[in-house]
Amino acid sequence: MVLGVAEPAIARELRDLGAEVVVVDGTDPAALVSAAVQEDADVIGATGPAEAITGLLADNGAAEVAVVDVLRIAAWVVDTAGERAHHRS
């Protein structure tokens, strides 16, 4: 998971839920997408509109990466835990 917000409490909560978290300093869509592609991430937790991020993901052959509002990312981790574990095996 790539997290586009430098909020230690959110990153810690996600790690406590069992997620691997890469924190990217800033919210630049290109930096978020680059990190997600490099890390083979399942999701990008971002603030603001997702259109630029989803467009760049598609351009980089990573359209399957989910883009979730950072305020909903913990719920996404819980909701998709089994699905992500199955996807990785």
Per-residue pLDDT reduced to its tens digit, 22-50? 888 778 899 999 999 999 998 998 887 78
Mean pLDDT of the chain: 84
Supply the pTM of this predicted model.
0.79
pLDDT at 57: 96
* Number of domains within the chain: 1
Q: What backbone phi and psi angles, to 5 degrees, belong to 43?
A: -155, 150
Banded pLDDT at 88 (limits 50, 70, 90): very low
How many Cα neighbours within 13 Å face the side chain of 76? 19
- Residue 2 belongs to what H/E stretch? strand 2-3
3-class SS at 41? coil
Helix axis angle, 51-59 to 29-39, nearest 10°: 50
Banded pLDDT at 65 (limits 50, 70, 90): very high
Query: Which 8-state DSSP code applies to residue 5?
Result: S
Specify whether the CB–CB gap between 29 and 9 falls below 8 A: no
Give the domain extent around 49. 2-88
